[in-house]
Amino acid sequence: MSNFQKILHSFSVKETLNPKVWENPEDPKKATMISKVRKALMRIAEEFIDDLGENVFVEDIYLMGSLSNFNWSEFSDFDLHVIVDMERYGKQEELYKELFDLKKKLFNDKHNIKIYGYDVELYAQGSKDESHSDGVFSVMNNEWIHRPTKTHKNIDNEVLTNKIKSWTDKIDDAIEDAKSEENADKLKTLKDKLKDYRQSGLNKDGEFSYENLVFKFLRRSGHIGKLFDEKTKIKDKELSIETKIE
């Protein structure tokens, strides 16, 4: 099976929740998180909270994404969201959001934490922020916030493949043309368009929208990583002096 087909196949809905994470994985009404996994996630979250600083107002810790749903695969990771009461920061709310986003990136870049082979990704999320995950589990309180449902949505692979090819071509062409500061701006524009494209799909059809599946494919195939890396390379080149001083 080609890597393209392997990634496409990863979007299929499984018959049970992931048995490495859940007890009674075949029935979401009875499913509970395996104690060893929950304790590990709590330790990791507490480490992240320490990095966020003393002024953080934590309300809960959620597991979201495919490992709390029926669409898990070998590409899944533990999406661990620390839920923060952002409104307590008043007029400084946006400033703290930017700070927490930066600390999230630094934490995830610094650490390489895995549970049963799955990466653990940390996020700081406002308690009022909208969530598009079908399954949401409170790791802190050991209970479901939203139990997942096994929904077999009809995905037209030909339509999805065409949308994926359109975006991979856009990204490959943009990287190929990236030779100046002007083209670096084009890379940023493309990145912003992709972000808006995904969000529109989440708002309209949720996790199984074509737009979100395209985004997940591009992330799993490495195209999004290449897009970010190329923009950084161009900026570094613009800021560098390459001629040697004799």
Count other Cβ atoms within 10 Å, centred on residue 2: 7
Asked, for residue 179, whether it belongs to a domain, the answer is: yes
Q: Are 218 and 168 in contact (CB under 8 A)?
A: yes
* pTM confidence score: 0.81
pLDDT tens for the chain, 246 residues: list them. Answer: 688 888 888 888 899 999 999 999 999 899 999 999 999 999 999 999 999 988 899 999 999 999 999 999 999 999 999 999 999 999 999 999 999 999 999 999 999 999 999 999 999 999 888 777 889 999 999 999 999 988 767 788 899 999 999 999 999 888 887 665 566 677 888 889 999 999 999 888 888 889 999 999 999 999 998 888 876 777 777 777 766 565
Contacts of 167 (CB under 8 A, 6+ apart): 194, 214, 218, 223
Domains of the chain: total: 2
Tokens 């008043």, located at residue: 90
Q: How far apart are CA 170 and CA 110, in angstroms?
A: 31
Tokens 């920061």, located at residue: 89
Question: Which amino acid would we find at residue 67?
Answer: L
Of 146, 181, 200, which residue sits at a domain end?
146
Q: How far apart are CA 71 and CA 146, in angstroms?
A: 15
Of 146, 168, 184, which residue sits at a domain end?
146
Question: Which amino acid would we find at residue 65?
Answer: G
Q: Are 216 and 11 in contact (CB under 8 A)?
A: yes
> Which residue range is the domain that position 197 belongs to?
157-239
* Whole-number Cα distances in Å, 10 to 188, 189, 224: 28, 29, 18
Tell the burial category of 205 from Cβ atoms under 10 Å away from its Cβ (0-12, 13-18, 19+). middle
Of 125, 146, 167, which residue sits at a domain end?
146
Start-to-end CA span in the chain (Å): 55
Q: Are 125 and 81 in contact (CB under 8 A)?
A: yes
Asked, for residue 53, whether it belongs to a domain, the answer is: yes
Nearest to 39 by CA among 118, 140, 125: 140
State whether 127 and 189 are in the same domain.
Answer: no
Asked, for residue 73, whether it belongs to a domain, the answer is: yes
